[in-house]
């Protein structure tokens, strides 16, 4: 008896705006702490660690910015639904 094959779920990245902001903040913090630890000679300064630190900063900034823009968009969409002031008035010829 063969079991039916299940399709594996693809990797799901967090899309909640607050999660993106927190992930971005943690990555930005790591991207600042790692170079500080290299400067005070607690960890050695290697090309790989420098590159990873830069990647943390870059991905953290993009993630946090995306999360902030998502929060703003959700709030603007809520305002549009509530107030309906952003829609252009209908032309008098339209029914």
Coil, helix or strand for 39? helix
The pLDDT score that the predictor gives to residue 87 is: 62
pLDDT digits (tens, 9 = 90+) for 2-48: 666 676 677 676 678 899 999 999 999 999 999 999 999 999 999 99
The pLDDT score that the predictor gives to residue 16 is: 86
**Measured distance CA(27)–CA(7) in Å, rounded:** 32
Q: Give the helix/strand (H/E) hosting 48.
A: helix 47-83
Percent of the chain clearing pLDDT 70 (strictly above): 77
The pLDDT score that the predictor gives to residue 14 is: 65
pTM: 0.70
pLDDT digits (tens, 9 = 90+) for 18-28: 999 999 999 99
């Amino acid at each position: 008896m063969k079991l039916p094959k299940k399709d594996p779920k693809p990797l799901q990245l967090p899309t909640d705006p607050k999660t993106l902001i927190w992930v971005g903040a943690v990555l930005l913090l790591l991207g600042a702490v790692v170079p500080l630890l290299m400067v005070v000679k607690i960890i050695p300064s290697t090309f790989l660690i420098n590159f990873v630190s830069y990647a943390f900063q870059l991905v953290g900034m993009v993630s946090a910015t995306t999360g902030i823009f998502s929060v703003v968009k959700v709030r603007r969409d809520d305002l549009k639904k509530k107030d309906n002031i952003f829609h252009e008035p209908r032309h008098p010829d339209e029914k």
